[in-house]
Copies of this chain bind each other. A is one copy, B any other.
Amino acid sequence: MRITLLCVGKTDFPFIVEGMKLYEDRLKHYCKFSTVCIPALKGVSSWTKEQIKEKEGELILKSLGLTKDKAAAKKHVVLLDERGGKYSSEAWASRIEKLVLLDKDVFFVIGGAYGFSDAVYSISSEKLSLSDMTFSHQIVRLIFMEQIYRAFTIISKEPYHHR
Contact = CB atoms under 8 A, between A and B. Distances in A.
B132 A87 contact: yes
Interface in A65-92: 86-89, 92
Quickly give the copy total for this chain: 2
A162 B134 CA distance: 13
Interface in A1-55: 12-16, 18-19, 22
A16 B163 CA distance: 12
Given A13-B163, A131-B131, A136-B160, 13 more contacts: A12-B162, A14-B18, A15-B18, A15-B22, A16-B19, A18-B18, A87-B133, A130-B133, A133-B147, A135-B146, A135-B147, A136-B150, A139-B146
A102 interface: no
Interface of A: 12-16, 18-19, 22, 86-89, 92, 113, 130-136, 138-139, 142-143, 146-147, 150, 160, 162-163
A9 to B, nearest CB: 9
Contacts of A163: 12-13
A132 B86 contact: yes
A13 B19 CA distance: 8
Contacts of A150: 134, 136
A142 B16 CA distance: 11
A142 B87 CA distance: 21
